[in-house]
């Protein structure tokens, strides 16, 4: 049996160890395939600690923002005030107030 040729493999698995030449070829092929898969597949959505801290500070600033002034008070539940009710008091028949629907039939 011929002696095996040993070479240095710099892949992530070996980390600079001396391995057989066939093993290094297999590891380099696997590394190439992994690199191609990383290019094709979507990157992982990871967030760094720095980004997380910045986001938390921003959210705290939003929480401390001054609130909007209170809404104006609503009119009394009884409806319009007497002065305003007099403005809308118009003599009108119910038939005139409602718009006609459909087509009138001429007789």
Query: Has residue 105 been placed in a domain?
Result: no
Query: Has residue 10 been placed in a domain?
Result: yes
CA distance linking residue 76 with residue 82, whole number of Å: 11
Residue numbers of the domain that contains 38: 1-43
pTM above 0.85, yes or no: no
Neighbouring-strand partners of residue 56: none
How many domains does the chain fold into? Answer: 1
Query: Has residue 35 been placed in a domain?
Result: yes
Query: Has residue 32 been placed in a domain?
Result: yes
Query: Has residue 39 been placed in a domain?
Result: yes
For 41-70, write each residue's pLDDT tens digit.
766 667 788 888 999 999 888 887 667 777
């Amino acid at each position: 049996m011929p002696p095996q040729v040993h070479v240095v493999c710099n892949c992530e698995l070996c980390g600079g160890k001396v391995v057989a030449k066939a093993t290094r070829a297999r590891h380099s092929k696997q590394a190439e395939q992994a690199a191609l898969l990383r290019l094709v597949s979507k990157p992982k959505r990871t967030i760094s600690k720095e980004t997380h801290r910045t986001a938390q500070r921003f959210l705290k600033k939003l929480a401390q923002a001054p609130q909007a002034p209170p809404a104006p008070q609503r009119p009394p539940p009884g409806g319009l005030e007497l002065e305003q009710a007099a403005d809308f008091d118009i003599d009108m028949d119910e038939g005139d107030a409602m718009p006609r629907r459909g087509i009138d039939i001429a007789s």
